[in-house]
Amino acid sequence: AQTVTQSQPEMSVQEAETVTLSCTYDTSESDYYLFWYKQPPSRQMILVIRQEAYKQQNATENRFSVNFQKAAKSFSLKISDSQLGDAAMYFCAYRSPSGNTPLVFGKGTRLSVIA
């Protein structure tokens, strides 16, 4: 079974600075998908970024980018120019290639942004 590990329960960053959230995973599959989700106080899950394992290029969405290291099974999220609205729980998630399989979530990292 696949597992996802987020080793940082809490992180903080100064507004406008950059922060990196760590995520490692374990799988025997060669093809899969990785995700970062944001859960603000409203508790609505919001997709931040998605990475297909077969793609070597790291995904980027505006201020959010990932560092995907397939051999190391590492998938970190970098948030640049942090904003107050970035404060939330961030979950790393894994999904097998079949779309009918559920997401496997890490325990989450609570990010605080300091003004």
Binding site for another protein (CB under 8 A): 42-45, 47, 50, 91, 95, 99-100, 102-108, 110
Residues 6 or more apart whose Cβ sits within 8 Å of residue 48: 35, 36, 37, 38, 61, 64, 77, 90
Task: Supply the minimum distance, in Å, between the C-beta of residue 45 and another protein.
Answer: 4
Smallest gap from Cβ 105 to another protein, in A, equals 5
The residue among 19 and 92 lying less far from another protein, judged by its C-beta, is: 92
CB of 71 to another protein, least distance (A): 25
Give the span between the Cα atoms of 63 and 8, in whole angstroms.
21
Joined together, the tokens standing for residue 44 give 């609505």
| Residue 15 or 75 having the CB closest to another protein | 75
The 3-state secondary structure of 64-76 reads EEEEEECCCCEEE
Which CB sits closer to another protein, 47 or 84? 47
